[in-house]
Amino acid sequence: MNLNSIKEELKRELNIIYYLNSNKVDDFFEEFLNNFNFFDENNFFKKEFLENIDVPFFVIYKSLNVLKKYFGSEKIYKIEEMFSKVYLKNGAVELLSFLNHQYNDRLLFIPHNKFIKQIYSSLFYNDLSLFPKKHFQDCEFQKVLKYPKSKMILCSNIKELENLHNIMHIIADALYKALKKKKFSDAIFILENFKEGTD
């Protein structure tokens, strides 16, 4: 196995992503390929390496797809799950940070503060039973939108806000389904969309 040829193939696969993050990606490749124990099923990477990764998940995802050709899907899937859980946990922390804003205690924000905290707990503690499974029509936010005060503040924007609220619940449901099916890489990309919607 030639590590340099694998590295070159990874660079070609990443294309523009590589050139935008070349220093970080080079450091990652070096650590990844030198520290990866390809033959130990239980300890692929040191804990410190997993906790200190500083590249976009897309880099990991593409790298692992290339490595499947060399080491098979089953072994690489276990590694993908390892990385994904680290990125999901980090994503959960980022999601929780969105609640630190000046309108946190306002009526329109309170229902989703709880919703986001439940998603955070599910991801951070890797416990799907904590994930909120609530249809957008059953969400407390729908009731709050009907309050006279809300209508007065939002005026003609209520319909647009309802649509955005609906989309947020659809994305959350997709995240839950991906986690339930153990499609962890999909879950990370869905979580990125969810964070964009809550920012």
As a dihedral over the C-alpha atoms of residue 89, residue 34, residue 28, residue 66, rounded to 10 degrees, the angle is: -80
Q: How far apart, in whole angstroms, are the C-alpha atoms of residue 7 and residue 1?
A: 11
155 membership: H or E segment, kind and range: none
At residue 102, does pLDDT exceed 60?
A: no
Better pLDDT: 114 or 4: 114
Q: How far apart, in whole angstroms, are the C-alpha atoms of residue 162 and residue 44?
A: 46
Closest CA to 61 of 32, 35, 41: 32
Q: How far apart, in whole angstroms, are the C-alpha atoms of residue 168 and residue 26?
A: 36
CB 116 within 8 A of CB 96: yes
Categorize the per-residue pLDDT at 189 as very low, low, confident or very high, splitting at 50, 70 and 90. very high
Write out the DSSP string of 68-80. HHHH-HHHHHHHH
At residue 140, does pLDDT exceed 60?
A: yes
Mean pLDDT of the chain: 77
Distance in angstroms between the alpha carbons of the first and the last residue of the chain: 44
* 105-119, 151-165, 180-194 — most confident range: 180-194
pLDDT digits over 17-50, tens only?
Answer: 665 666 777 777 777 766 665 545 555 566 667 6
Categorize the per-residue pLDDT at 183 as very low, low, confident or very high, splitting at 50, 70 and 90. very high
Task: Retrieve residue 20's tokens.
Answer: 């935008």
Categorize the per-residue pLDDT at 122 as very low, low, confident or very high, splitting at 50, 70 and 90. very high
Q: How far apart, in whole angstroms, are the C-alpha atoms of residue 37 and residue 28?
A: 15
pLDDT digits over 49-62, tens only?
Answer: 767 777 788 888 88
**What is the predicted pLDDT for the residue at 1?**
57
At residue 91, does pLDDT exceed 80?
A: yes
